[in-house]
Amino acid sequence: MRILFINASPNKNGNTAKLAQELLTGKEYETLNLIDYKIYAFGQNYADDQFNEVITAMHKADTVVMGSPLYWHNICGLLRNFLDRCIGSVKQNEFSGKDLYFIIQGTAPEKWQLEACEYTMERFARFYGFNYKGMITDSETAIQKRP
């Protein structure tokens, strides 16, 4: 099983990455840091855009783990921009058969904030055909929900 961790934190070695390491202990996985890729906003077209490189990496994986810090009550801008870019570029059910886990890391998030993140990721997963395995918010949950 090939596992891809997509880290949407601007801090490559921050708490989101640490939570992913804990979740994936004992598993081989590849990390893709969105901060290293030029992914322009929806509607912008530039020759150096690297959106398709991320999509290609996702196609090669059996399991995708997306991680984001909690900023302004929801997922961070890097992940939001990536999800927005999927509209029209990625076909409905294109990732059928692949598992998707979501990591959200933040300091004492409130229930409504977690619900907003869960809503976004669950709908993303459903539309693109992922088997959504749920959201992981802390190390205790990560141990229970390992891919």
pLDDT of 32-82, one tens digit each?
999 999 999 999 999 999 999 999 999 999 999 999 998 777 888 999 999
Q: How many separate helices (H) and strands (E) can be counted in the chain?
A: 5, 6
The two tokens of residue 44 are 């912008």
Q: How far apart are CA 146 and CA 24, in angstroms?
A: 7
Say if CB 30 and CB 57 are below 8 A apart: yes
pTM of the model: 0.91
Q: How many CB atoms lie under 10 A from the CB of residue 52?
A: 12
pLDDT of 13-39, one tens digit each?
999 999 999 889 999 999 999 999 999
Say if CB 132 and CB 120 are below 8 A apart: no
**Average pLDDT of the segment spanning 98-105:** 94
Say if CB 51 and CB 44 are below 8 A apart: no
Q: How much of the chain, in percent, has pLDDT values that exceed 70?
A: 93
